[in-house]
Amino acid sequence: MLTEVGAVSGAGRLNPLSAVPVVGDPVTAYRSAQILGASPMQLILIVYDVALAACGGHDRARARRAVTELIAALNFDYEEIAVPLFRLYEYCLSAIDSGSYHEAAKILRQLKEAWETALRRAPAVQGQKYDMGV
């Protein structure tokens, strides 16, 4: 779930897909506050960052979890947006499974840039519920 994004592993290292918090680390506190205060669109951008970092590190499990979170965030009530995104995410999962991290990252980077553009163009509605397929 997106609510799990941003926790920290027991080793004190930021692990955006773990739900185990560590108390007392200022970086962790900052990251947790950033995530808890994020709008739905900002959370999507955070998950894209996790996916891109995982692809860059050839971390198959983490990349798959991040892309799976992106799929879970889709709202199929708006299928004209959600279905094409779903297909791209499925392709990314396939690329990750075959070790083509660069291919998955290329697509995810372009999608993240599109979300960033949407966020910049809609600053007044950042905290509201979105009807954008997510």
pLDDT of residue 123: 60
List the chain domain ranges: 1-17+25-134
**In three state form, how does the secondary structure of 35-75 look?**
HHCCCHHHHHHHHHHHHHHHHHCCCHHHHHHHHHHHHHCCC
pLDDT of residue 41: 85
pLDDT of residue 88: 98
DSSP secondary structure code for residue 25 in this structure? -
CATH topology of domain 1-17+25-134: Four Helix Bundle (Hemerythrin (Met), subunit A) (1.20.120)
Spans of the chain, pLDDT less than 70: 1-24, 38, 123-134
How does pLDDT run across 70-105, given as a tens digit for each residue?
999 999 999 999 999 999 999 999 999 999 999 999
pLDDT of residue 84: 97
